[in-house]
């Protein structure tokens, strides 16, 4: 048991329960960063959290159909944010934040920066994704430099590499903006909410809530802005946090 993590979590909750859990998928719910294998033990823990009427909201850069499918078949709350905040599903309400088609930029960026567009773009409503060269994958400084160069040329978009793909999306879209929309519509107190992430695309989400959390092998940018940095890696980190939370909830019920 990591007493420091437990102490910070309990201090942040102030004896209560979180209003919601906003959770990234890749690198947070998967068994490791770079893997697509979901940790089913974690899913069981998240379902137990939902039994206490705490919504578990997926927040991902994945394509809308991918997040919708995971939410449904994993049995999580019917509230999710897809494509880095460009799209929101709130029960039966569909909210599309982005207003333009980025495909013309995809053609330009692919040629100029020697990237390869992701086949997932076929299913994306807003956000677009690229595969990066192997030397960029293994070198965070090169990834940050690539992001910087793209954003300097196209100041109206974000370009962020997650460890899986490089995403581009309009600057008026973000995970934090989408979380605020969800919170307003549901009447959630974000100061009492938990957000768990692992990459640069999660930084604004981590800062948007009262209890921002980074997994142990997160990007340094995410760790720097998190209130709690977990031990362990990927889903092992997340399972530790959720188990600690469930222990706290069960004790407060007694």
Point out the catalytic residue in the list 4, 24, 103, 217. Answer: 24
Architecture of the domain defined by 3-97+173-253? 3-Layer(aba) Sandwich (3.40)
Q: Provide mean pLDDT across the span 86-114.
A: 96
**Domain chopping of the chain, boundaries:** 3-97+173-253, 103-170
Cα–Cα dist 186/217, whole Å? 32
Q: How confident is the model at residue 2 (pLDDT cuts 50, 70, 90)?
A: low
Per-residue pLDDT tens digits for 124-153? 999 999 999 999 998 999 999 999 999 999
3-state helix, strand, coil in the chain (%, to 5): 45, 20, 35
pLDDT value at residue 242? 98
What the block records as the tokens of 46 is 């998240």
- Of 221, 232, 202, 243, the C-alpha closest to 31 is 232
DSSP SS3 for 226: coil
Q: Does the pLDDT of residue 14 top 50, yes or no?
A: yes
Mark whether 24 is an active-site residue: yes
Q: Taking a C-beta distance cutoff of 8 angstroms, is the pair 235, 29 a contact?
A: yes
pLDDT of 254 > 60? The answer is: no
> Domain spanning 103-170: which CATH class is it, in words?
alpha beta
Give the per-residue pLDDT at 5. 87
């Amino acid at each position: 048991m990591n007493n420091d993590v437990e102490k910070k979590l309990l201090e942040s909750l102030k004896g209560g329960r979180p209003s919601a859990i906003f959770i990234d998928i890749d690198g947070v719910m998967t068994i490791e960063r770079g893997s697509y294998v979901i940790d089913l033990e974690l899913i069981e823990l998240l379902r137990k959290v939902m039994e206490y009427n705490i919504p578990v909201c997926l927040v991902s850069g994945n394509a809308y159909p991918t997040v919708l499918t995971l939410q449904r078949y994993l049995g999580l709350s019917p509230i999710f944010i897809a494509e880095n905040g460009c799209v929101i599903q709130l029960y039966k309400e569909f909210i599309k934040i982005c207003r333009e088609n980025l495909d013309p930029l995809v053609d330009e960026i692919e040629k100029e920066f020697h990237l390869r567009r992701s086949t997932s773009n076929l299913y994306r409503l807003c956000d677009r994704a690229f595969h990066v060269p192997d030397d960029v994958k293994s070198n965070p400084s090169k990834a940050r430099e690539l992001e910087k160069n793209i954003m300097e040329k196209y100041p109206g978009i974000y370009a962020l590499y997650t460890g899986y793909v490089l995403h581009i999306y309009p600057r008026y879209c973000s995970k934090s903006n989408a979380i605020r929309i969800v919170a307003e519509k549901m009447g959630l107190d974000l100061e009492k909410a938990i957000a768990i992430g692992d990459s640069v695309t999660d930084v604004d989400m981590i800062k948007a809530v009262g209890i921002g959390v980074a997994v142990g092998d997160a990007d340094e940018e995410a760790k720097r802005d998190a209130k709690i940095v977990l031990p362990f890696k990927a889903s092992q980190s997340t399972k530790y946090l959720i188990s600690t939370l469930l222990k706290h909830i069960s004790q407060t019920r007694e």
